[in-house]
Amino acid sequence: MTTQTTHEKIATGDRKTGRVVGVNGNLASVRFDTTVMQNEVAYVLVGKDRLKGEVIRVRGQEADVQIFEDTRGITVGDAVTFSGELLSVQLGPGLLTRVFDGLQNPLPQLAEVSGFFLQRGLYLEPLDHEHQWPFTPGVEAGHTVRAGDAVGTVPEGPILHRIMVPFGWTGSWQLTWVAPSGYLAVDAPVARASNGREEREITMVQAWPVKIPIAAYRQKLLPTEPLVTQTRAIDTFFPVAKGGTFCIPGPFGAGKTVLQHALSRHSEVDVVIVAACGERAGEVVEILTEFPELEDPRTGRSLIDRTIIICNTSSMPVAARETSIYTSVTLAEYYRQMGLHVLLLADSTSRWAQALREMSGRLEEIPGEEAFPAYLETRIAQFYERSGLVELNDGSVGSVTIGGAVSPAGGNFEEPVTQGTLKVVGGFLGLSRDRANARRYPAIHPLDSWSQYKSVVHHETVGRARDILRQGNEIHQMMKVVGEEGTPVEDFTVYLKSEFLDAVYLQQNSFDDVDAACSAERQSYVFKKVLAVLEREFPFASHAEARTFFMNLRQRFIDWNYTPWGGKAFKEGEKNIDAFLEEKRTA
């Protein structure tokens, strides 16, 4: 690992300099004499520390730089160096299993150097530049390539990592040399290419600006194929598409983090990226401790083997929250370029928006609703638009699916962040405090939530089931006034049907090895059985008879959910249900 902590380690490219002329929190105003770019990386020199920042506004010969560190000790007149490069991340093999902060510093290695408290101004290389990777060439010299084309592969955990032509190269290039099979470091050249005017080297590692989407593909496709999360309430009622977008808003304690853990483990994707962009440290600790211990159902390996964690908690510098969002989506796009399906979970975008609001206030911009910047919706849209299903140059398909958790204060879905998110996403999985308090997991509200994507079962049958839920809710509201005895038996039966659907299908036991994940095939099969019960007429003579019947039927279905799919116990459970229903019909 290499570090940059002193003035002597200023990169040779740091030729442009300036001076601090004002400080407001983590915003520094800098006067310079040459030229400066928007989003350029700058360093404020404080004693022996170099505090990293990003130019976010240029006004004549002054630039506003947001500092990603604690700014105590910065004074007017302190020197500033400009790197001449945009804020970027390193892309290459070795990203999986890693835990980075918002600036792509590897946190475990950072802790080894600085101890329990992260040292200000300390930055480490995100990739191990000494590790030797077994490179296998995929093309030969003389082959014509473009940006994003693979020249070889290395194994990285459960995936085959493509070594690609740098995304910033334009036009066609002809390979003049390709390295033979062997163990190489990420900095070692694996190929050379020429466009007739110059010759360049291709290595395993490349840098890419985080705020510029990677678009080295043939075309973007319309997301149509469902992303199976194995959560029944999502896949059947509020589906997510591969390459689509969705949001999970909900009040504190409604189960956003738990739901994201389930999605990370059971979703049918190749790579999972968890961006803790301002989440509290307690929730992040659960991810760091549990993921290495959990088994990945798809590969049988550790779940962390196909996971990247971007950890920028609420106790870390505020300005880095925004960067953590862009860092995570850039890494997701990188793995999409390999023809892989990536799931990016951002938790919580509300705190990212709060960081934007804080910086906007320091820039003295005209505020929008609730003091958020007027361009909040634009920033939200730019983030979610980087999702998508794409066809690569070789004809393969990759996708980035983005799901953002939103933490509206007081569970108010009318606040600006939630509303700005709802305008751009394709699915709304609204969590309910009442359902969470009633221990109904997942706490997705079945009437308020919606999705624009294709379900794993036919949409018409889902609509009929939601009608039962809607009718049951209306009857339940009426029963609060007139009581159970004042409700007709027919209406009470509809209410019991809605509760039956909720208990046996919408709810799942995440502590049960079988019920925690429900395959698309099983969902389709079980839903038909549940729908048959919902649409069947039951001539009950009394409220007590109806309640007893549905309590017994519900328990049989729940026991059935705990049996392995297609096994002997599953078939016996189904026969038990059929016999119970037949007994009621003949009676």
Binding residues for ATP: 250-257
Task: Give the whole-angstrom CA distance, residue 101 versus residue 122.
Answer: 12
How far, CA to CA in Å, does 478 sit from each of 130, 332, 473, 474? Answer: 69, 48, 9, 6
**Residue 176 phi/psi, 5° resolution?**
-100, -20
Q: Which helix (H) or strand (E) holds 80?
A: strand 79-86
What are the CB-based long-range contacts (under 8 Å, 24+) for 365-374?
A: 368/416, 369/416, 370/415, 370/416, 372/416, 372/417
Residue 586: φ, ψ to 5°: -70, -30
Distance from C-alpha of 323 to C-alpha of 384, rounded to nearest angstrom? 15
- Quote the DSSP letter at residue 237: I
Structure tokens at 204: 């395993």
- How far is it, in rounded angstroms, from Cα 507 to Cα 314? 31
CA distances 67 to 63, 124, 260, 352, 580, Å, are 12, 17, 30, 16, 67
Which residues, at least 6 apart from 477, have a Cβ–Cβ distance to it below 8 Å?
Answer: none
Q: How far apart are CA 260 and CA 405, in angstroms?
A: 9
At position 53, the amino acid (one-letter code) is G
Q: Detail the residues annotated as belonging to a binding site.
A: 250-257
Pairing state of beta strands 199-203 and 307-312? unpaired
